[in-house]
Amino acid sequence: MNILIAGGGGQLGRELERLLEEKEPSFCGGGGVFALGRRELDICDRAAVLSFCRENKIGAVFNCAAYTDVNAAESQEEAAYAVNALGAENLALAMEEARGILVHVSTDYVFDGKKTSPYTESDPCAPLGAYGRTKLAGERLVLSALPSAAVLRTAWLYGREGKNFVNTVLRVAGEKGEMRVVSDQFGTPTFTQDLARHMLTAAREGLSGIFHATCKGSCSWFDLACETVRLAGLKARILPCTTEEYPTPAARPKNSVLENARLSALGLDAFRPWEEALRARFSLL
């Protein structure tokens, strides 16, 4: 089986490719892995996606591609929709034609954050901004085109490389010795390594529908920044602030903690506590 990792140049795509090559080479059954970024394959181009998957006999797609600039999406919603919704649909159509597997990654931002307990897969969606709207549209288009697809909603994703909150904290705290971080928004930091493993599990087990897929526990952005600085051994001050004191173009949910209810019910929730996963991230460097 040949595999396509869409968004192969991003932090999750690189982690998934590394996992397939180093730990799970048998997953492909002798097939090849195509980890492609936008320059190699623009998922917004339906004809190109269908043609590539036909010509290369792609039997499974892991969609790690996304427009993730939450603030920019407010003024560029059409561009975000092209990637997060229409691009995802194109991959689903290709796998529908091939009778293949699709594992698609979505987000906690499909919720408004007003719930006081963790969100489950059955909770109603009400995104606050353009990013969340386009990702929710992507979920619906994917499952409409390919009901057998697995949609994994994750949150606060970070990897060893690439652009993410943990790496931003390391850079800013290291350069300035001090930074302000919001302390009244709560979620679950999730390591790309953990999510990549569960993406393979979803494909291997033939999961379909929507699943929440995050590390265990929860914290604030401030808590995450403090733990990051501590693990890195940086002598930097992390100062708490409120959402109102740190305004951004896009509204963020105050509570985006997800409960992996469906994975747990199937006995497939092998995510670690977020603190343990973050320590693992540093031990791998």
| CA atoms within 13 Å, Cβ hemisphere of 154 | 30
The helix/strand/coil state of 178 is strand
Q: Residue 241 CA to chain centroid, in angstroms? A: 26
Q: How far lies 136's CA from each of 106, 114, 198, 250, 269, in Å?
A: 8, 17, 21, 16, 23
- Active-site choice (81, 109, 119, 131): 131
Nearest CA among 170, 179, 176, 198 for reference residue 12: 198
b/e burial code for range 189-227 (CB count within 10 A of at least 16 → b): bbbbbbbbbbbbbbbeeebbebbbbbbbebbbbbbbbbb
DSSP assigned state of 272: P
- Find out whether 10 and 64 touch, Cβ atoms under 8 Å: yes
Contact in structure between 262 and 211 (CB atoms under 8 Å): yes
* Per-residue CA distances from 41 to 35, 38, 58, 203 (Å): 10, 5, 13, 22
In the residue annotation, 131 being an active-site residue is answered as: yes
Placement of tokens 């059955």 in the chain: 122
- Among 160, 170, 218, smallest CA distance to 13 is for 160
Structure tokens at 222: 């401030």
Residues recognised as catalytic: 131
